[in-house]
Amino acid sequence: MEKQMELEFVKMEGLGNDFILLDDREGDIQRHESYPVLAKKLCSRHFGIGADGIILILGSHDHDIKYRIYNSDGSQAQMCGNGMRCFAKLLYEKKILTQKRIRVDTKAGTVIPEVNVDDNDQVRSIRVDMGEPVLSCLDIPFESPSERAIEERLTVGDKDYLITAVFMGNPHAVLFVDDVEKVDINRIGRLIETHKRFPEKTNVEFIEVVNNRELKMKVWERGAGRTLACGTGACAALVAANLTGRTSDRAMIHLDGGDLDIFWDQKTNHVFKTGPANLVFEGRIRI
């Protein structure tokens, strides 16, 4: 019988999007169990800790730190905005890193979170430079006759939807609807996630415009299903809303788990996301 390993973990959440954070800078965890298998085990809400994904703290030669994330189904995601805020808060409050602005190596490239602290040096909120949105269908990837897909028709079953395709470190399909409460998120989200025109699958955002400074959003995440929030999805939603003339370059995104302030800086073409992250509990588990 294989010897068990005891792991120290931290459970955190960003707007209800919850993660198990593990420090594997020494590589001991990976030598014992592959990350995809571990993600499935730990994220099980009945037989494990329960989470939308696991986040690994890893060493980096050319960045301050390395971030890797695996969804609850074992698939690897390039990036997750809510997860990145949890990651940055943990690094600063546990003194793994001491600087407030961190250069992080992710599968989507360099991401730079910056912590805002209170008088007790506790993290109040995290502002993340999410980089530039990618609109090229070839790079998202999204199969289209056009270079960019801005409110392009997508046939799902017997119905057509207008979607805007955006890559924010991972692919997104943004749909604008009259009332997000009346949309069958589970059915339509699953169908669009696995649509053949998205060869690497996609996250799906359903957006209701409140006014030119506020959006309501519900999300179906690739590899995780229905979640309470998605940081990269909120960024994609703001970009799509701005491109289609629905909002200015800044808006508050209201998600099931809370609010995110999203700003698309037209000068640098970078998208900035500000929001909270919270510690849920810490513990040890045998695997």
What DSSP string describes 30-59?
HHHS-HHHHHHHHH-TTTSS--SEEEEEE-
CB 84 within 8 A of CB 111: yes
CB 169 within 8 A of CB 79: yes
Enumerate the domain spans of the chain: 6-127+277-286, 152-268
What pLDDT score was predicted for residue 214? 98
CB atoms within 10 A of CB 8: 11
What pLDDT score was predicted for residue 2? 65
Q: Per the structure block, which two tokens stand in for 199?
A: 């060869």
Q: Nearest Cα to 244, choosing from 193, 192, 203, 207?
A: 207
Q: What is the CATH number of domain 152-268?
A: 3.10.310.10
Buried b (16+ CB within 10 A) or exposed e, 229-257: bbbbbbbbbbbbbbbeebbeeebbbbbbb
Max intra-chain CA distance, the chain: 61
Q: What backbone torsions phi and psi does residue 88 show, to the nearest 5 degrees?
A: -65, -40
What pLDDT score was predicted for residue 157? 87
Do 152-268 and 6-127+277-286 have the same topology in CATH? yes
What pLDDT score was predicted for residue 3? 82
Active site residues: 80, 230
What pLDDT score was predicted for residue 281? 98
Nearest-angstrom CA–CA distance, 229 and 205: 10
Q: What is the CATH number of domain 6-127+277-286?
A: 3.10.310.10
What pLDDT score was predicted for residue 47? 95
Q: Per-residue pLDDT tens, the chain, 287 aa: give them.
A: 568 999 999 999 999 999 999 999 999 999 999 999 999 999 999 999 999 999 999 999 999 999 999 999 999 999 988 999 999 999 999 999 999 999 999 998 999 999 999 999 999 999 999 999 999 999 999 999 999 999 999 999 889 999 999 999 899 999 999 999 999 999 999 999 999 999 999 999 999 999 999 999 999 999 889 999 999 999 999 999 999 999 999 999 999 999 999 999 999 999 999 999 999 999 999 99
Between strands 17-23 and 53-58, the pairing is: parallel
